Amino acid sequence: MLRGLFTAASGMISQQRRHDTVTNNISNINTPGYKQTNAVTRSFPDMLLSLTGAGPENATTVGKLTTGVFAEESLSIHLQGDLTQTNNASDFALISNIELDGHAFDASGKYTSPEGEVTFQPQAFFTIQDQNGDVRYTRGGKFTLTEQGFLMTSDGSSVLGTNGQPIRMPAGVGLDSLILTGDQRFVDANGVDVGVQLLISRVDNPNQLVREGNGNFRFATADGQAAAIAQGERVEVRQGYVERSNVDTAQAAVDLMSALRAYEANQKVIQFYDQSLSKAVNDVGRV
């Protein structure tokens, strides 16, 4: 009897985590560059049940039984979000549609070969440096220009250029007077290069990235590396735009209700077991 109680309790915890994940997605609908996360639930290790006879040759396999479910991890969906025009010269939006030969990526950004091998679509990111000097990646392009001419993110991280150093505009030059070219260089109204170029990094498997908050990502392992995008890759940066979050609001509402109903169902099971145990102890025990 207690096995069912534990199974229902694990279901409640799993649905609570799923509910929290969907709620976080909904609260970040208006966050530029935010990428939706999905909670992945898996069963606890299966147990193989057998009816054992006199010897192994007489054993009869009954089947498998799981001991519950748990929310193992949350996966980010790195799909392109819609663009919103802001006409703000310090806003930048990435359009990334990197292709690989012979790979037709589906709506979730992955390709499965006939042999079952899964390949994820590479994604492009702005490259930034946090206040600890560590390199991070983001799709949130709502930047600001300090009085010293440094291009910064909203959390105080420095936007990096192709030289690997924080971008600093020439003295007296504002973003309003600069134009971003197709190769991510800044030029003035006369087309003169001011010597600043955005570093756009390519991450071959975006699922190797983990969130750090404020829209920033880092590699899960120390050996993770990103490379600068090459010429000809289908990556574009638009000035005066921001990328909206890719959260599907309709699906989020459905998932929210589904998690609530599943939570209530597991709660009813626990109440049933509680009543059964109470009757067994207080009523049956008296006989």
Query: Could you report the per-residue pLDDT of 184-205, keeping only the tens digit for each?
Result: 999 988 888 999 999 999 999 9
* Strand 241-243 to 92-96 pairing: unpaired
Q: Alpha helices of 89-222 — where are they, by DSSP H? A: none
- Find, among 183, 219, 225, the residue nearest to 202 by Cα: 225
Please report, for residues 49, 95, 104, the alpha-carbon distance to residue 118 in angstroms, rounded to integers and kept in the order given.
Answer: 33, 23, 11
Spatial separation of the C-alpha atoms in residues 224 and 226, rounded to whole Å: 7
Highest mean pLDDT of the ranges 54-58, 90-94, 220-224:
90-94
pLDDT at 281 over 80: no
* Strand 135-138 to 60-65 pairing: unpaired
Q: What is the pLDDT of residues 203-249, one digit of tens each?
A: 999 989 999 888 899 998 888 889 999 888 889 999 999 999 999 99
pLDDT of residue 199: 95
How many angstroms from the chain centroid is the CA of residue 151? Answer: 25
Buried b (16+ CB within 10 A) or exposed e, 181-206: eeebbbeeeeeeeeebbbbbbbbbeb
